[in-house]
Amino acid sequence: MKKQCMVVFVENNAGVLARVASLFVQRGFNIDSLTVSPTENEKVSRITIVTRGDEKFFNQIMQQTGKLIETKMIFSVEPTFSLIHEVLLIKFAAEEADNEKLQSLIGIYGAKIVDRTGGCIVAELTDTPQRLDGFIEDTAKFKVVESCRSGAIAMERGNVSYEL
């Protein structure tokens, strides 16, 4: 099962997200990541979906999503030609003995310390999903109190834009 990413531009109407998500549910496929945001056009929203499946499934779900009345445009995101990023917030118990090593690792990954309260350090990292996975793996030896991760956002590189 290959991980794949698509972007769907939809009319900014109530219920659109539910209709898009229901296409996946009806076919028994899981959505790994789902992010919805406004665009520069207030009448249009951008939905970024990451899912796993074979090429046949992915093409089928793209075609069916494209047929929804509210869908303005849909395309597959190719990692080679695109930026795909997520945001991670991760809270560590700030034990004095490990503080220096933890802060060093946070710096190596280019993460930022965004909070130091109540004996905890909260780090924020924005990067590719693979880089976030690596950071989580490398910091697992420290006491993780809590973590949360956004869904993927994606944008094609270069002079590519869409008229909506």
Q: What is the pLDDT of residue 103?
A: 93
Do residues 14 and 69 share a domain? Answer: yes
| Residue 149 predicted with pLDDT over 90 | yes
The model's pLDDT over 69-85, given as tens digits with 9 standing for 90+, comes to 999 999 999 888 899 99
Q: Is the pTM of this model over 0.75?
A: yes
Do residues 28 and 54 share a domain? Answer: yes
Q: What is the pLDDT of residue 99?
A: 86
The average confidence (pLDDT) of the chain is 92
Do residues 88 and 38 share a domain? Answer: no
Question: Considering the domain boundaries, does residue 64 fall inside one?
Answer: yes
**Distance of alpha carbon 55 from its chain centroid, rounded?**
21
Question: Considering the domain boundaries, does residue 112 fall inside one?
Answer: yes
List the domain range (segments joined by +) for residue 107.
Answer: 83-152
* 38-44 average pLDDT score: 93
**Per residue in 8-44, is it b (16+ CB within 10 Å) or e — as a string?**
bbbebeeebbeebeebbeeeebeeebbbbeeeeeeeb
* 14-28 average pLDDT score: 90
Give the pLDDT band (50/70/90) at residue 120.
very high
Last residue of a domain, one of 77, 106, 121: 77
